[in-house]
Amino acid sequence: MTPARRRPLVAGNWKMHTTPQSGVELARAIVRAGPPDGVDLVLCPPAIAVTDVARAVVGTTVRVGAQNMHWLDAGAFTGEISASMLAGVAEVVIVGHSERRGDFGETDEMVNRKLRAALAAGLTPIVCVGETESVRDAGGARALITAQVQAALEGVDSEAAGPLVMAYEPVWAIGTGRTASPEQAAEAIGWAREALGHALDAAAAERTRVLYGGSVSPANARELLAQDGVDGALVGGASLKADDFIAIARSAVP
Ligand code: PGA
């Protein structure tokens, strides 16, 4: 089980789903469904809905995050939003999701810059790492995860990384209905935690929550979240249904 000192976190990545209005309705339904005590719950709507969803959950235990941000504070970057724009509206930001890396060309260096900007702005970054199926089949998952963690944390010290959250999301499990087995998830999260220890220090490796993501559902969440070192879940598809998302969150209660 997750040690008591690491409070479980379950985050919903709504991806490119919901309008400001339907996002508010979903957030309200999630609040009505009853977020469990003892678990941090985060909703990550599309950027256009972040403000409205954040307003809708004021006074509840639910927190709001963005799915992406630019690493610079302001400038001629059409279509982008910065950490300082998010700060004050959202508390969390997903950084380096595999869809950003794979579909939008985000490099390890960009992930590192975004992570540093998020921390500097007082946001809690959820940094995603994970291998493709071909890398896993070739036996390269551990090396890739280690390299991604190291690159993401380049130039960051343990103290600055205080609120950091990581997510292990095997690319082959995202949106496919195929999850990592609980053993695979725990093993890979162990690799990520070891890399955290090398990149930062032992204290950071101990305190940093590492989530699993990739086709998490009410049916598989309990077994995944019961694994040693699996500190919560980053949920895509199932986070768009209030009852499913809350069922997953309940599975995370220590
Ligand atoms: P999924 O997405 O739960 O739909 O597989 C997870 C994610 O991309 O964070």
How many angstroms separate the CA atoms of 1 and 12, rounded? 22
> Angle of helix 20-33 relative to helix 242-251, nearest 10 degrees?
50
What was the pLDDT predicted at 5?
A: 75
The pocket around ligand 1, CB under 6 angstroms, is made up of 13, 169, 174-175, 213-216, 234-238
Atom of ligand 1 nearest to the CA of 173: 5
Q: Work out the pLDDT band at 102, boundaries 50, 70, 90.
A: very high
Given the residues 97, 99, 106, 131, the one annotated as active site? 97
How many angstroms separate the CA atoms of 125 and 52, rounded? 21
What was the pLDDT predicted at 13?
A: 98
Does the annotation mark 109 as catalytic? no
Does the annotation mark 97 as catalytic? yes
pLDDT of residue 2 exceeding 80 = no
Ligand 1 centroid–CA 30 distance in Å is: 18
Tell me which residue has its CA closest to atom 3 in ligand 1.
236
Q: How many CA atoms lie within 13 A of 45 on its CB side?
A: 28
CA nearest to 67, candidates 121, 12, 132, 120? 12
Q: What is the pLDDT of residues 116-170, one digit of tens each?
A: 999 999 999 999 999 999 999 999 999 999 999 999 999 999 999 999 999 999 9
Task: Identify the bridge partners of residue 125 per DSSP, sorted by sequence position.
Answer: 93
Residue 168 in 3-state DSSP?
Answer: strand
How many angstroms separate the CA atoms of 191 and 168, rounded? 10
What was the pLDDT predicted at 1?
A: 43
How many angstroms separate the CA atoms of 129 and 171, rounded? 9
Task: Give pTM, 2 decimals.
Answer: 0.97
Q: What is the pLDDT of residues 182-211, one digit of tens each?
A: 999 999 999 999 999 999 999 999 999 999
Q: What is the pLDDT of residues 41-85, one digit of tens each?
A: 999 999 999 999 999 999 999 999 999 999 999 999 999 999 999
What was the pLDDT predicted at 162?
A: 95
